[in-house]
Amino acid sequence: MKGRYKYFLISPLLLLLLFACAPSVSHYAMIDNSLVQGNYQQADAIVERYKGKYGDRNALLYYMDRGMTLHLSGDYEKSNLYLEEAEKLVESLYTKSITTESGAMFTNDNLLPYEGEDFEKVMLNIIMALNYAYLGKWDDALVEARKVDHKLNLYNDKYEKKNVYKEDAFARYLSGILYEYRGELNDAYISYNKAYTAYKDYRRSYGTAIPAFLGEDLLRLSKALGLYDEYKNYQKEFNNIKFKDIKELQSNGELIFIYLSGRAPFKEDFFIDAPVPDVAGDPYYLRIAFPKFVAQPSQVAYARIYIRGINSEEKTYLMEDITAIAKKNLDDRIGRIRAKAIARAVVKFTTAQTAKKAAAKKYGKEAGIIVGGLLNIASVVTEEADKRSWRTLPDKIQMARILLPPGNYNIEVHYIGAVGEILEKKIFPGISINSKEKKILTHRVIK
């Protein structure tokens, strides 16, 4: 049998199997549909219903998704129960199983338990901190802030200059808000300053500008703490912007509006396919799979918040571009992922050639060709990138901070598109603001 004929025998079977193995529609389509409708309880019910589909290897994703859908449903205590389970699982998976790693070399990374991306692990604590803040458990929220600080310090030590994501500007900023609310001004200043440094990196790496109100925070606290050199430097840096001092903040309350826009990116396969000759000169169909992120950008550019009754309005600022972080984080690791995929392809090729040679020796050349071809087919259909990610996260996180005298307010939010059009309106009636209180209000918009 000539080599080219053997190739044409194998290729149609390969193509048939590839089409047969096309993925079915994910349950995430149903979750997304519920989120778009604002039916968060239904989204949570879908996640719960499909718990078995997640399986043991994707248990972390199950806890993450339940934590997010329960958070959106307003069940903050239950949300934290699932996010705490996710946190425990992350810690237990820190040391990988050598046996499982070895098995993944022969198939694909989906054999491994999902451990989460670094930014996803930080988001666990961010959502938990917000949950505790909604529940009025500010000390517990600060515990989550300290966990974030510990994780980010570990990332800085671990990666040095290897990875772009080793700081989280939004997490640092949220920590500053929590510390300031508890009266820990020195720690608040440190967190705001770390956020400032991180946002300068964000501007270079992700195109995320420094939020306008961060300058006010740094000026207010550096002055209050008597850090006059730093205060003068920030005055120059932020062009002498006006800010409210500590006393004025304490005589008023503050509305902190956080909105989560759009959907996080998802991963899909990027294949490199090439027919190559094996050691006997017979055709071998080589396939290597890498993951790539596909963006699901939000149509909302920003939100404008109107405080009815006092003729006050404010706009939101981008705090975290999760899609940009996810893509860059994957780019930083893609070299390691490719090296592993190539090594896996080499192992599969070697295994197929060894089995082909043994079959030919025992049963004849044609048997060797059949065995080699079948193993080649198996290697192709089992080659798949690890496409797992925390898909119920948003595309972006934005925030507005509004100082308000004590009172009861109706809050109207307009979600604005790229050319200034109003995409959606949302009214939050009867929001009470007390003196010295920081009231956090969130909303998810998927457009």
What distance in Å separates the CA atoms of residue 371 and residue 356, rounded to the nearest whole number? Answer: 6
Bridge partners (DSSP) of residue 270 are 290
**How many domains does the structure of the chain reveal?**
1
The phi and psi torsions of 255 (rounded to 5 degrees) equal -100, 125
pLDDT on residue 112: 85
Domain assignment present for 338: yes
Q: What is the pLDDT of residue 353?
A: 87
pLDDT of residue 312: 85
What range defines the domain where residue 109 resides? 3-210+252-445
Among 396, 139, 399, which residue's Cα sits nearest to residue 256? 399
CA distances from 439 to 145, 307, 363, 433 (A): 18, 14, 77, 7
Q: Is residue 284 part of a domain?
A: yes
CB 390 within 8 A of CB 65: yes
Torsion angle of C-alpha atoms 132, 138, 143, 149, degrees rounded to 10: 100
Residue 276: inside a domain: yes
Say if 221 falls within a structural domain: no
Residue pair 267/371 in contact (Cβ under 8 Å)? The answer is: no
The per-residue pLDDT for 98 is: 46
Instruction: Please work out, in degrees rounded to the nearest 5, the angle formed at the alpha carbon of residue 294 by the alpha carbons of 33 and 95.
Output: 95
DSSP state of 2: -
Residue 244 belongs to a domain: no
Q: Considering the domain boundaries, does residue 229 fall inside one?
A: no
| Cα dihedral across residues 60, 62, 65, 67: positive or negative | negative
Q: Is residue 270 part of a domain?
A: yes
Q: What is the CATH number of the domain that holds 62?
A: 1.25.40.10
Tell me, yes or no, whether 149 lies in a domain. yes
Q: What is the C-alpha to C-alpha distance for residues 395 and 320, in angstroms, rounded to an integer?
A: 9
- Residue pair 110/269 in contact (Cβ under 8 Å)? The answer is no
The whole-number mean pLDDT for each consecutive block of 10 residues of the chain, a chain of 447 residues, reads 42 44 65 92 96 93 98 96 97 67 60 90 96 93 91 80 82 95 94 96 95 95 95 89 82 93 93 85 88 93 93 93 95 87 86 86 85 85 90 96 94 95 94 92 89
CA-CA distance, 56 to 63, in Å (whole number)? 11
* CA dist 41 → 44, 84, 398, 429 (Å): 5, 20, 23, 21
